[in-house]
Amino acid sequence: MTACSVPATVIDRIREIVGPGGYIDNSDDLAPYLEERRGRYFGAVPILVRPKTVNQVSNVVSVCAEAGTPIVPQGGNTGLMGGAVPHDTGSEILLSLTRLNCIRDIDPINNTITVEGGCVLSDVQSAAASVNRLFPLSLAAEGSCQIGGNLSTNAGGINVLRYGSARDLALGLEVVLPNGQVWDGLRRLRKDNTGYDLKQLFIGAEGTLGIITAAVLRLFPSPRETQTAFIAVQGIQEACDLLDQMQVRSNGMVDAFELISDTALDLVLTHMPQTANPLTNSHPWYVLTSLSASSQGQALKIALEETLSSAHELGNIHDAVVATSMEQGRALWRLRESIPEAERRDGASIKHDISVPISQIADFMAQAEASIQAEVARVRLVAFGHLGDGNIHFNLACPVGMDANKFLACGDDLNRVVNDIVSSFDGSISAEHGVGRSKRGEIRRHKSEIEMDIMERIKIAVDPNSLMNPGKVV
């Protein structure tokens, strides 16, 4: 890198702190860290630092704070909003916790695990499983994303309905603040009412307030019995009623309740090899649901079958299949999990990751679908997502025969139409994936002045010189 505005002395001091192997500074090796995986953002930095200890993180941050050099924290770089990608000015440094990846403690009685920020999510899941516990955070990027990134984006995933999002799974944090100080908030407590819950500030902050170097996370009993069903529902309202019945009859054992539209399933069946509709006929809406219990037995299966058969008698569902083995359950889940890839293969698409109260989803969908059709005729609605969380991926695929670029040029208008309807339902325009760079402007249209003002004042209080991931979120 020639044109870099990070002072050479800062880079030298950083190299000294972390030593050989603790940084990457040649452009070939840096390249993969400078790009968002969907190729929407590219950045430039003179150095990527990979500290091995919290002390090194603190020292690096202190050096940057002194010199006024901004830092972009990066985890697995799987985030979808460009939050972990630096700007292209070359004036920032990247800091990755990849080497800060120890499991510090597992306490099965306290049902907690204490891990460092660079631990890969799937390694935390395995560590929990080794003591017969479940760490329930689970998403398709789990083999690459890191706990620090998961907490910073307040990641959701497939088990939010039952266990909550990353925010609900954290009991304590250790954070390196923008001035280099270390805040040790690694408490392993479920009850602590001693003032503001500071950890929640850093969770979901997307690296704008500090660097999460370790966390205490909650564990749960391992599931021993799982039931999975794929269901053709009459409509979205009937799907919501089914969820309610399922929760009541199973004693709240529903892990996931996913909505899949026929267009979404069609994309999968068309573009993904070795997939087939598990039902004999096609239907406008499907639900994929999983329930689990920590003891083996028939109770869950009976609850599921009884719920389905009464819904069938009422005409709320048309058809359903129940997996008879975990393998069949996985095959059903593959249909759901391959929707994003099928969308990619299908071509241009305009995406929305929205949430509204579950009771309003049916109304929202009806209104939003009519409005987008009025905006772009024959646009294909590929709706799917976490119905049980009120979170729908309201994605729009290019009308058949329309030029992809012409369609993508309507993106801003379509976003606006959809987001305004979301707001009118008191919903969120970014339910899961955060703000990053992508939605920084747009959130201002949907959050009140008071909310934005409080957020900005918090940012200034914690990071007065705006050195932590500037230009993201706030």
Ligand X SMILES: Cc1cc2nc3c(=O)[nH]c(=O)nc-3n(C[C@H](O)[C@H](O)[C@H](O)COP(=O)(O)OP(=O)(O)OC[C@H]3O[C@@H](n4cnc5c(N)ncnc54)[C@H](O)[C@@H]3O)c2cc1C
Tokens 């406008």 belong to 284
Contact flag: residue 334 with another protein (CB under 8 A): no
- Using CB under 8 A as the binding rule, the residues of this chain from 243 to 282 that contact another protein are 278-280
Which of ligand X, another protein, none has residue 321 at its interface (CB below 5 to 8 Å by kind)? Answer: another protein
Give the range of 206-214, 373-381, 415-423, 455-463 binding ligand X by CB under 6 A.
Answer: 206-214
User: Which pair of structure tokens corresponds to residue 66?
Assistant: 């002194």
Of 193, 327, 377, 449, the one binding another protein (CB under 8 A) is: 327
Cβ-based neighbours of 429, under 8 Å, separated by 6 or more: 352, 354, 419, 422, 423, 439, 442, 443, 446
Tell me which residue has tokens 């705006």. 466
Residue 94 partner contact from ligand X, another protein, none using kind-dependent CB cut-offs of 5 to 8 Å: none
Could you say which residues in the range 122-161 bind ligand X, by CB under 6 A? Answer: 139-141, 145-146, 148-150, 152-153, 155-157
Indicate the residue among 324 and 373 with the shorter CB distance to another protein: 324
Query: Which residues does 40 contact at the CB level (< 8 Å), separation at least 6?
Result: 82, 438
When CB distances are held under 5 to 8 angstroms depending on the partner's kind, the choice from another protein, ligand X, none that residue 319 binds is another protein
Q: Which of 83, 185, 427, 470 binds ligand X (CB under 6 A)?
A: 83
Binding to ligand X by CB under 6 A, coded x per residue (else -) over 402-441, reads: ------------------------------xx--x-----
304 or 342: whose CB is closer to ligand X? 342
Asked if 56 touches ligand X (CB under 6 A), the answer is no
The secondary structure of 382-444 as a DSSP string is EEEEEGGGTEEEEEEEPPTTS-HHHHHHTHHHHHHHHHHHHHHTT-BSBSSS--TTTTHHHHH
The answer to whether residue 212 forms part of the interface with ligand X (CB under 6 A) is yes
Judged by CB under 8 A, which of 295, 359, 373, 424 binds another protein?
295
Per residue, what are the HEC states of 186-197?
CCCCCCCCCCCC
- The reply on whether position 409 binds another protein by CB under 8 A is no
Backbone angles phi, psi at 355, to 5 degrees: -140, 145
Closest separation in Å from C-beta 337 to another protein:
16
Residues belonging to the chain: 474
Classified as helix, coil or strand, 365 is: helix
- Beta carbons of 369 and 418 less than 8 angstroms apart: no
Q: Is 269 exposed, middle or buried (0-12, 13-18, 19+ CB in 10 A)?
A: middle
Q: Binding to ligand X by residue 178, rule CB under 6 A?
A: no
The maximal CA–CA distance of the chain, rounded, in angstroms, is 74
Count of residues near another protein by CB under 8 A? 28
Q: Contact positions toward ligand X, by CB under 6 A?
A: 72-80, 83-84, 97, 117, 139-141, 145-146, 148-150, 152-153, 155-157, 206-207, 211-212, 432-433, 436, 469, 472
